Structure 1
Amino acid sequence: MHETIPHWLTKQADLAPDKTAIELDNGHCLTFRQLKDQSQSFAKKLAQAGITKGTHVGILAKNEIPMVAAVHALSYLGAVGVLLNIRLTDEEINYQLKDAEVSLVLTSDHLKEGTEYFQAETIQSFSEIAALEESEVSLCNELDLDDTFTIIYTSGTTGFPKGVIHTYGNHWWSAIGSALNLGIHENDKWLVPLPIFHVSGLSTMIKSLIYGMQIFLLEKFDESIVHQAILHKGVTIVSVVTVMVQRLINKLGDNHYPESLRCLLLGGGPAPRPLLEKGKARNIPVFQSYGMTETASQIVTLSPKDALEKIGSAGKPLFPAQLKIEQTSKDDLVGEIHVKGPMVTKGYFKNEAANNKALKTGWLATGDLGYLDDEGFLFVVERRNDLIISGGENIYPSEIESVISGMDQVREVGVVGKKHETWGQVPIAFIVVDSQSISPRDILVYAEKRLAKYKLPKEIYFIDQLPKNASNKLVRTMLLKSLE
């Protein structure tokens, strides 16, 4: 028997119709009732355009209210949203459109011109759909937790990206797990600077409905706007990645944020320890977390009582989740992270090979390496594919990056393994600096006090910027190619 719940937007609009659901940085606000009305109207117009239950609809947009309404509209029709990254090339977009069997692409008005080479049956802007007549169609008043709601493609740093299926239940349990850890406060306002087309932004948008919580929605991250929102607009939680924390700490200087800020929820990979220590010194509540598209956002997170004490840890599994470390031998401390829980995807869209490789008896093999300390806290070490093996020793690029990033002159670091006749591989570093008054020798002098000799970069290159993919993740293979 499938579990169903009332439609979460309809329910929240009934419980708190006049409460603000979304606030923009220009001061414009939308209540839950207004968001429901706008989403239901858009759903009826999508029905007029031929969208029915099970239709796969691509959405290409920045963070904006029409995008939020479009995602909710699909849920009222039982259609599936395929969220597209606006930074992708036409070729990458077309791969996803074909793979996900998308029949209609919805896009922001200002992005419509750039879709001429998209290979989709129909491409419509939000305004073009909004101009249609409403269809006389029955909208869903319940959500089946087993039904597919969204598909988001992995970033594809290696191989082709895979379409991660998210059910309503995945999103529901992700929200419940987070609430049981962070709590829900009456005055909460969650700032969303991360794209809704990524799982972090999407999951916060859904949490808003389940918690009855206001979100402060930004089109993109701007440290000045975020800084001012924390100081003057009552923001209590902010979703961030490492570079955002760096910029906010720099912006804050020697000052302090108000006690009303209770969480900077940090995702997107292990953060450099020096950065976390800077945050702690300023009493900034940085909560490291661990999650991925496949887990519908965070699945491991530090708790409020541990955030400033367990520096470097991602925390413990959220209440509905389980975690284990699959070690290659009993003597190994580090192993592959496996996770299980109702927020974990049921699989990749029409990709049996990937499903068989990653999902076994309910456990997801993440491809990430980590270990548990004596108290059961997770420390994420590296992507398995990024591991450097030099003379039989395992070297984790993130460890070297964390150390070097502790230098004030260094903005970003990328470390990769380079083939070596004697050692198999050796680490080399690519560094983006804020000041030119630093030499490779300065970096090695600093690093050799903090790293074993075999971990020291054997070559150091200064570059203007690190190569990153559309999800803003470092593409290490491109660093190696730059040497060819």
Structure 2
Amino acid sequence: MIPNWLMQRVYLTPNKIALSYEKESWTFKQLHQVSMRYARQLKTNQLQSGDRIALLGASNVEMVFMIHACLLAGIEIVMLNNRLTDLEIDWQIEDAEVKAVLFADEFEAKIKSNKMDKISFSTVTQSRESPFGIEENWSPDQTVTIMYTSGTTGFPKGVRQTVNNHTSSALSSVLNLGLEENDVWLCTMPLFHISGFSILVRSVLYGMEVRLYEKFDAKKVAREIYEGTITRMSVVSVMLNQILLELERQEKTAHASFKTMLAGGGSIPIDYLKRANACRIPILQTYGMTETSSQTATLSANDALRKIGSAGKPLFFNQIKIKGATRAKEHGEVFIRGPHVTPGYIGRFQENSPLIDGWLPTGDIGYLDEEGYLYIVDRRSDLIISGGENIYPAEIENVLAAHPKVHEVGVCGKEHPKWGQTPVAFVVVSEKVEAEELMKYCEGQLAKYKVPSDIIFIESLPRNASNKLLRRELKQWLSQQ
């Protein structure tokens, strides 16, 4: 059994600061009190232990309270990405077969489906409180969260994350990073992502303050770093660059108390690492995915320049192997094993086991060097990573292919100086159509970051003998333009 995270933390350090947002702060005791009130109000709205709900909100304090309220009440949370279109959100809601959708009032228009109850945050907070019996201990295999990740088929997969998955991930991370009494983790990552949610988990397990931002602001973050009000944070490459530009503009360096910049979502350019070193920011590159509840491997700051391009070594409880590799630097698919790995999916993929003989095949191609450091050669070769967001070409292709004037389409990633990559669509049309019309068509069905930055009209797509689309040739075409 694993103790109820927030209840155990309140018992241990009730008066320690748990959360700060703008100019307000809450101790763990206060966080527990507000979250318990919300949990009792959820009970009044017919939500109880064992129910599965979808949660749609912003990365603010109200969202944190709702998350903890659901955890305290034993409710499974399907974390919805508020950047998705209403069509994408409805697909996930219906695939998850949730009892209700719990949403921040400003997102009501995004929920079109009428197949489940809809409960706004304001409805909850204005409800009376109903008592319920709280579970002081959790089963390790109890599902806590479900997060959708894009699938190679173009259909998102609902990934289950258990109590043990999240707990193991947090413990592995602290064994690698260490922990000090004054640690404050700045969270500018979306709470619906594993990167943001995992920070909340670390907070209650470590007794660590989370400094929460609703949206990333490079100027404010830079000030926090050089003034010493935070000690750690998580970023993707595009965020790191904006922070560095701000520090360089002001000719500032990180405060001596700043310990960790955990960088994920793709490799970090060498130039960024050197600039970060000049700004005295320790960069720890990391590799993980939704199926592994955040980090699997992390490169230490001391190795950042010695092992350029590496994602580091697996964390304490985790194992990594390269399928079929018999020697160092031999390329193959990255396989992962450990207590942080998901036990499975929900919805249309629930019958598909994510594991092969206990190992998770990631679809990423990489290798281990002579010292056991992991290098990722391709992140699921076709995957496009734009500003830290994962985009699968098949999802965009499925949308564009449904346009009445499109015959066929292929999508690949194009290098972008700010976002890392953006999607580009190669389109074969059945009748004349303007690129602007296709862009607008995509905007109605895809999140903004998934909409192609360019649409290129061609006569035919490159395919092999079995008629499989050759996206690597699309990439070559882009490089020749």
TM over 0.5: yes
* Equivalent residue, structure 2, for 1:175: 170
Give the secondary-structure state (helix, strand or coil) at the position aligned to 1:207.
Answer: helix
* Equivalent residue, structure 2, for 1:369: 365
Taking structure 1 as the reference length, the TM-score comes to 0.79
* Cα distance in 1, alignment partners of residues 413 and 164 from structure 2: 42
Verify the 8 A CA contact 1:194 1:201 in the aligned structure 2.
yes
Counterpart amino acid of 2:42? L
Counterpart amino acid of 1:63? S
* Equivalent residue, structure 1, for 2:229: 234
Counterpart amino acid of 1:88? L
> Where do residues 125-144 of structure 1 align in structure 2 (5 Å cutoff)?
125-144=120-139
Is 2:91 the counterpart of 1:100? Answer: no
Is 2:318 the counterpart of 1:321? Answer: yes
Verify the 8 A CA contact 1:87 1:470 in the aligned structure 2.
no
Equivalent in 120, 123, 133 of residue 118 of structure 2: 123
1:11 shift after superposition: 1.2
**Relative to 1, partners in 2 of residues 1:432 and 1:371: Cα closer, same or farther, differing over 3 Å?**
closer
* Cα distance in 2, alignment partners of residues 353 and 16 from structure 1: 39
Verify the 8 A CA contact 1:148 1:167 in the aligned structure 2.
yes
* Cα distance in 1, alignment partners of residues 293 and 192 from structure 2: 12
Q: Which moved more, 1:4-13 or 1:170-179?
A: 4-13
1:362 shift after superposition: 1.5
Verify the 8 A CA contact 1:97 1:119 in the aligned structure 2.
no
Is 2:340 the counterpart of 1:343? Answer: yes
**Relative to 1, partners in 2 of residues 1:46 and 1:262: Cα closer, same or farther, differing over 3 Å?**
same
* Equivalent residue, structure 2, for 1:406: none
> Where do residues 279-428 of structure 1 align in structure 2 (5 Å cutoff)?
279-327=276-324, 333-351=330-348, 355-356=352-353, 358-386=354-382
1:54 shift after superposition: 1.7
Deviations 1:82-107 (A, max 9, x none): 00000111111111111111121111
Give the secondary-structure state (helix, strand or coil) at the position aligned to 2:175.
Answer: helix
**Relative to 1, partners in 2 of residues 1:141 and 1:327: Cα closer, same or farther, differing over 3 Å?**
same
Deviations 1:353-388 (A, max 9, x none): 7734x411221000111111111111111123429x
Verify the 8 A CA contact 2:284 2:298 in the aligned structure 1.
yes
Verify the 8 A CA contact 1:256 1:282 in the aligned structure 2.
yes
Verify the 8 A CA contact 1:190 1:214 in the aligned structure 2.
yes
* Equivalent residue, structure 2, for 1:6: 3
1:61 shift after superposition: 0.7
1:283 shift after superposition: 3.0
Q: Which moved more, 1:302-311 or 1:31-40?
A: 302-311
> Where do residues 58-77 of structure 1 align in structure 2 (5 Å cutoff)?
58-77=54-73
* Cα distance in 2, alignment partners of residues 217 and 471 from structure 1: 24
* Cα distance in 2, alignment partners of residues 201 and 272 from structure 1: 23
Equivalent in 181, 189, 207 of residue 184 of structure 2: 189
* Cα distance in 2, alignment partners of residues 472 and 155 from structure 1: 15
Deviations 1:241-291 (A, max 9, x none): 000011011111143111211111001122223322322343321110000
Verify the 8 A CA contact 1:182 1:304 in the aligned structure 2.
no
Verify the 8 A CA contact 1:227 1:248 in the aligned structure 2.
yes
* Cα distance in 2, alignment partners of residues 473 and 374 from structure 1: 38
Is 2:84 the counterpart of 1:88? Answer: yes
1:109 shift after superposition: 2.4
* Equivalent residue, structure 2, for 1:456: none
**Relative to 1, partners in 2 of residues 1:274 and 1:60: Cα closer, same or farther, differing over 3 Å?**
same
**Relative to 1, partners in 2 of residues 1:382 and 1:432: Cα closer, same or farther, differing over 3 Å?**
closer
Verify the 8 A CA contact 2:89 2:111 in the aligned structure 1.
no
Q: Which runs of 5+ in 1 are unaligned?
A: 388-396, 402-413, 417-426, 435-466
Q: Which runs of 5+ in 2 are unaligned?
A: 394-410, 419-441, 459-481
Counterpart amino acid of 1:380? I
1:23 shift after superposition: 0.6
> Where do residues 443-458 of structure 1 align in structure 2 (5 Å cutoff)?
none
Deviations 1:93-152 (A, max 9, x none): 11111111112111112223x145134421122121111111121122212111000000
* Cα distance in 2, alignment partners of residues 31 and 481 from structure 1: 51
* Equivalent residue, structure 2, for 1:455: none
* Cα distance in 2, alignment partners of residues 324 and 374 from structure 1: 13
Deviations 1:28-78 (A, max 9, x none): 111100110111111111111111222111110111122111111122222
Counterpart amino acid of 2:229? G
RMSD of Structure 2 on Structure 1 (CA): 2.9
**Relative to 1, partners in 2 of residues 1:37 and 1:160: Cα closer, same or farther, differing over 3 Å?**
same
Equivalent in 273, 281, 292 of residue 276 of structure 1: 273
Is 2:31 the counterpart of 1:35? Answer: yes
Give the secondary-structure state (helix, strand or coil) at the position aligned to 1:360.
Answer: coil
Give the secondary-structure state (helix, strand or coil) at the position aligned to 2:258.
Answer: coil
**Relative to 1, partners in 2 of residues 1:289 and 1:431: Cα closer, same or farther, differing over 3 Å?**
closer
Is 2:34 the counterpart of 1:48? Answer: no
Q: How many residues align?
A: 411
Deviations 1:456-480 (A, max 9, x none): xxxxxxxxxxx999889778xx468
Give the secondary-structure state (helix, strand or coil) at the position aligned to 2:303.
Answer: coil
* Cα distance in 2, alignment partners of residues 329 and 312 from structure 1: 22
Verify the 8 A CA contact 1:105 1:120 in the aligned structure 2.
no
* Equivalent residue, structure 1, for 2:264: 267
Verify the 8 A CA contact 1:85 1:470 in the aligned structure 2.
no
Give the secondary-structure state (helix, strand or coil) at the position aligned to 1:184.
Answer: coil
Taking structure 2 as the reference length, the TM-score comes to 0.79
* Cα distance in 1, alignment partners of residues 13 and 168 from structure 2: 22
Counterpart amino acid of 1:14? Y
* Cα distance in 2, alignment partners of residues 42 and 353 from structure 1: 31
Q: Which moved more, 1:324-333 or 1:230-239?
A: 324-333
1:198 shift after superposition: 0.3
Verify the 8 A CA contact 2:228 2:254 in the aligned structure 1.
no
* Equivalent residue, structure 2, for 1:57: 53
Deviations 1:384-421 (A, max 9, x none): 3429xxxxxxxxx99xx9xxxxxxxxxxxx9x9xxxxx
**Relative to 1, partners in 2 of residues 1:471 and 1:203: Cα closer, same or farther, differing over 3 Å?**
farther
